[in-house]
Protein backbone atom coordinates (compact mmCIF):
# COMPACT_ATOMS: atom_id res chain seq x y z
CA UNK A 1 0.00 0.00 0.00
CA UNK A 2 1.19 3.51 -0.74
CA UNK A 3 2.18 5.60 2.28
CA UNK A 4 0.01 8.67 2.64
CA UNK A 5 2.09 11.81 3.15
CA UNK A 6 0.77 14.44 5.50
CA UNK A 7 -0.14 17.76 3.89
CA UNK A 8 0.80 19.38 7.22
CA UNK A 9 4.51 18.54 7.04
CA UNK A 10 5.66 22.06 6.03
CA UNK A 11 3.72 23.68 8.91
CA UNK A 12 3.99 20.93 11.55
CA UNK A 13 5.66 22.44 14.64
CA UNK A 14 5.59 20.08 17.64
CA UNK A 15 5.71 21.64 21.09
CA UNK A 16 3.75 24.24 23.03
CA UNK A 17 2.66 27.53 21.53
CA UNK A 18 0.71 30.64 22.44
CA UNK A 19 -0.30 31.82 25.88
CA UNK A 20 0.49 28.89 28.18
CA UNK A 21 0.65 30.90 31.43
CA UNK A 22 -2.51 29.10 32.62
CA UNK A 23 -1.45 25.80 31.08
CA UNK A 24 -2.29 24.22 27.75
CA UNK A 25 -5.92 24.76 26.72
CA UNK A 26 -5.94 22.39 23.74
CA UNK A 27 -3.83 19.73 22.10
CA UNK A 28 -3.79 19.60 18.29
CA UNK A 29 -2.85 16.41 16.46
CA UNK A 30 -3.18 14.82 13.08
CA UNK A 31 -4.62 11.34 13.32
CA UNK A 32 -3.99 8.96 10.45
CA UNK A 33 -6.81 6.44 10.25
CA UNK A 34 -6.45 3.58 7.80
CA UNK A 35 -9.77 4.34 6.11
CA UNK A 36 -12.23 7.20 5.84
CA UNK A 37 -15.36 6.04 4.01
CA UNK A 38 -18.62 7.75 3.10
CA UNK A 39 -21.71 5.63 2.57
CA UNK A 40 -25.03 6.82 1.23
CA UNK A 41 -28.33 4.96 1.08
CA UNK A 42 -30.75 5.05 -1.80
CA UNK A 43 -34.17 6.45 -0.74
CA UNK A 44 -35.97 3.96 1.50
CA UNK A 45 -32.83 1.86 2.10
CA UNK A 46 -31.48 3.69 5.16
CA UNK A 47 -32.25 0.90 7.65
CA UNK A 48 -30.54 -1.71 5.44
CA UNK A 49 -27.51 0.58 5.18
CA UNK A 50 -27.34 0.99 8.96
CA UNK A 51 -27.60 -2.80 9.34
CA UNK A 52 -24.73 -3.30 6.86
CA UNK A 53 -22.59 -0.78 8.75
CA UNK A 54 -23.33 -2.56 12.04
CA UNK A 55 -22.43 -5.94 10.50
CA UNK A 56 -18.99 -4.69 9.51
CA UNK A 57 -18.14 -2.28 12.34
CA UNK A 58 -20.03 -3.86 15.26
CA UNK A 59 -21.13 -0.31 16.09
CA UNK A 60 -24.81 0.29 16.92
CA UNK A 61 -25.37 3.35 14.77
CA UNK A 62 -28.49 5.42 15.47
CA UNK A 63 -30.72 6.30 12.52
CA UNK A 64 -30.45 9.83 11.17
CA UNK A 65 -28.06 12.67 10.55
CA UNK A 66 -25.97 13.75 13.52
CA UNK A 67 -26.19 10.49 15.43
CA UNK A 68 -23.04 8.49 15.82
CA UNK A 69 -20.76 6.28 17.84
CA UNK A 70 -17.02 6.24 18.46
CA UNK A 71 -14.56 3.74 19.90
CA UNK A 72 -10.77 3.66 20.07
CA UNK A 73 -10.37 2.02 16.67
CA UNK A 74 -13.43 3.10 14.68
CA UNK A 75 -16.17 5.67 14.46
CA UNK A 76 -19.32 6.32 12.45
CA UNK A 77 -21.70 9.25 12.35
CA UNK A 78 -24.49 10.68 10.24
CA UNK A 79 -23.47 13.61 8.05
CA UNK A 80 -26.77 14.07 6.21
CA UNK A 81 -30.03 12.12 5.88
CA UNK A 82 -29.07 8.64 4.69
CA UNK A 83 -25.33 9.46 4.60
CA UNK A 84 -22.67 8.39 7.06
CA UNK A 85 -18.94 8.85 7.52
CA UNK A 86 -17.11 5.79 8.82
CA UNK A 87 -13.54 5.90 10.10
CA UNK A 88 -11.57 2.72 10.71
CA UNK A 89 -7.94 2.09 11.63
CA UNK A 90 -7.67 -0.66 9.01
CA UNK A 91 -6.82 0.10 5.40
CA UNK A 92 -9.18 -1.27 2.80
CA UNK A 93 -12.32 -0.80 4.88
CA UNK A 94 -14.24 0.49 1.83
CA UNK A 95 -13.65 -2.80 0.02
CA UNK A 96 -14.86 -4.78 3.03
CA UNK A 97 -18.01 -2.67 3.28
CA UNK A 98 -18.59 -2.89 -0.49
CA UNK A 99 -18.51 -6.67 -0.21
CA UNK A 100 -21.36 -6.66 2.30
CA UNK A 101 -23.46 -3.76 1.06
CA UNK A 102 -25.23 -4.57 -2.19
CA UNK A 103 -25.70 -2.01 -4.96
CA UNK A 104 -29.44 -1.84 -4.33
CA UNK A 105 -28.82 -0.43 -0.82
CA UNK A 106 -26.53 2.48 -1.66
CA UNK A 107 -23.00 3.61 -2.46
CA UNK A 108 -19.59 3.33 -0.81
CA UNK A 109 -16.94 5.99 -1.46
CA UNK A 110 -13.39 5.72 -0.13
CA UNK A 111 -12.25 9.19 0.96
CA UNK A 112 -9.04 8.03 2.67
CA UNK A 113 -6.64 9.81 0.31
CA UNK A 114 -8.82 12.88 -0.06
CA UNK A 115 -9.23 13.83 3.59
CA UNK A 116 -6.98 14.78 6.48
CA UNK A 117 -8.05 13.82 10.00
CA UNK A 118 -7.34 16.38 12.71
CA UNK A 119 -8.02 16.14 16.43
CA UNK A 120 -8.49 18.91 18.95
CA UNK A 121 -8.71 17.93 22.60
CA UNK A 122 -8.54 19.63 25.96
CA UNK A 123 -10.64 21.80 28.25
CA UNK A 124 -10.85 24.67 25.74
CA UNK A 125 -11.63 22.56 22.62
CA UNK A 126 -15.29 23.60 22.51
CA UNK A 127 -14.34 27.25 22.87
CA UNK A 128 -11.74 27.14 20.08
CA UNK A 129 -14.08 25.34 17.67
CA UNK A 130 -16.82 27.88 18.41
CA UNK A 131 -14.56 30.51 16.86
CA UNK A 132 -14.88 28.64 13.53
CA UNK A 133 -18.37 27.22 13.46
CA UNK A 134 -21.78 28.57 14.56
CA UNK A 135 -22.53 25.32 16.39
CA UNK A 136 -23.34 24.61 20.03
CA UNK A 137 -20.41 22.35 20.96
CA UNK A 138 -21.50 21.90 24.59
CA UNK A 139 -21.73 18.30 25.73
CA UNK A 140 -25.54 18.25 26.17
CA UNK A 141 -26.10 19.67 22.67
CA UNK A 142 -23.28 17.74 20.97
CA UNK A 143 -22.91 14.42 22.85
CA UNK A 144 -20.01 11.99 22.49
CA UNK A 145 -20.27 10.10 19.20
CA UNK A 146 -22.46 12.63 17.44
CA UNK A 147 -21.28 14.39 14.31
CA UNK A 148 -22.10 17.19 11.92
CA UNK A 149 -21.07 18.63 8.57
CA UNK A 150 -20.29 22.34 8.41
CA UNK A 151 -18.11 24.90 6.65
CA UNK A 152 -15.66 27.57 7.73
CA UNK A 153 -14.89 30.12 5.03
CA UNK A 154 -15.62 27.58 2.26
CA UNK A 155 -13.57 24.87 4.01
CA UNK A 156 -15.89 21.88 4.36
CA UNK A 157 -15.50 19.98 7.64
CA UNK A 158 -17.08 16.88 9.09
CA UNK A 159 -16.81 16.97 12.87
CA UNK A 160 -17.37 14.24 15.43
CA UNK A 161 -17.16 14.51 19.17
CA UNK A 162 -14.97 11.52 20.01
CA UNK A 163 -14.59 12.20 23.73
CA UNK A 164 -15.84 14.50 26.47
CA UNK A 165 -13.21 17.14 25.55
CA UNK A 166 -12.19 15.81 22.14
CA UNK A 167 -13.29 16.39 18.54
CA UNK A 168 -12.15 14.80 15.30
CA UNK A 169 -12.33 16.91 12.14
CA UNK A 170 -12.16 15.58 8.59
CA UNK A 171 -10.99 18.22 6.12
CA UNK A 172 -10.26 18.09 2.39
CA UNK A 173 -6.50 17.48 2.04
CA UNK A 174 -6.18 20.50 -0.24
CA UNK A 175 -7.40 22.79 2.58
CA UNK A 176 -5.76 20.96 5.50
CA UNK A 177 -2.64 23.13 5.73
CA UNK A 178 -4.47 26.45 5.77
CA UNK A 179 -7.09 25.12 8.19
CA UNK A 180 -4.36 23.76 10.49
CA UNK A 181 -2.65 27.15 10.55
CA UNK A 182 -5.97 28.89 11.32
CA UNK A 183 -6.67 26.35 14.08
CA UNK A 184 -3.27 27.07 15.64
CA UNK A 185 -3.86 30.81 15.43
CA UNK A 186 -7.30 30.44 17.07
CA UNK A 187 -5.73 28.34 19.85
CA UNK A 188 -2.95 30.78 20.72
CA UNK A 189 -5.10 32.66 23.23
CA UNK A 190 -5.60 29.54 25.40
CA UNK A 191 -2.21 27.96 24.71
CA UNK A 192 -1.85 24.82 22.65
CA UNK A 193 0.38 21.86 22.17
CA UNK A 194 1.09 20.13 18.87
CA UNK A 195 1.76 16.44 19.39
> Residue 108 has what pLDDT?
93
Q: CA 160, CA 85: separation in Å to the nearest integer?
A: 10
DSSP assignment, residue 27? E
Last residue of a domain, one of 60, 87, 110: 110
DSSP state, residue 118? E
Residue 191: is its pLDDT beyond 60?
A: yes
Domain hosting residue 59, numbered range: 35-110
pLDDT value at residue 64: 60
Above 60 in pLDDT, residue 65? no
Q: Does residue 74 lie within any of the structural domains?
A: yes
User: Does the residue 182 lie in any domain?
Assistant: yes
Q: Are 128 and 183 in contact (CB under 8 A)?
A: yes
* Average pLDDT of span 180-194: 96
E-only strand ranges, 45-105: 68-70, 74-80, 83-88
| pLDDT 10s digits, 110-166 | 999 899 999 999 999 999 999 999 999 999 999 998 888 888 887 889 999 999 999
CATH of the domain at 168: 3.30.1360.120
- Choose one of 110, 128, 162: the last residue of a domain: 110
Phi, psi of 186 (to 5 degrees): -65, -25
- pTM to 2 decimal places: 0.90
Please tell me the least confidently modeled range out of 5-14, 26-35, 60-69.
60-69
Residue 1 has pLDDT above 70, yes or no: no
- How many domains does one find in the chain? 2
**Residues belonging to the chain:** 195
Question: Does residue 190 share a domain with residue 122?
Answer: yes
DSSP string of 174-194, one letter each residue? HHHHHHHHHHHHHHGGG-EEE
104, part of any domain: yes
Rounded mean pLDDT, 30-49: 91
187 with 171, same domain: the answer is yes
Write out pLDDT tens, residues 68-99.
777 667 888 888 888 989 998 888 888 888 88
Within a domain: 2? no
Q: Are residues 123 and 68 in the same domain?
A: no
Residues 73 and 138 in one domain: no
Per-residue pLDDT band at 59 (split at 50, 70, 90): confident
33 closest CA partner among 70, 64, 78 = 70
One domain, residues 84 and 118: no
Where is the domain boundary, 110, 143, 161? Answer: 110
Amino acid sequence: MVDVLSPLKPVWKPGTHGNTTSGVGVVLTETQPGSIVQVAAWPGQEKKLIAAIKTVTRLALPDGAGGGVASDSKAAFGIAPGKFLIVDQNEGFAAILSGIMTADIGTVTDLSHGRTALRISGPKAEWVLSKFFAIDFSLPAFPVGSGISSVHHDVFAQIQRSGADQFDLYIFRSFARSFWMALGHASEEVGYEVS
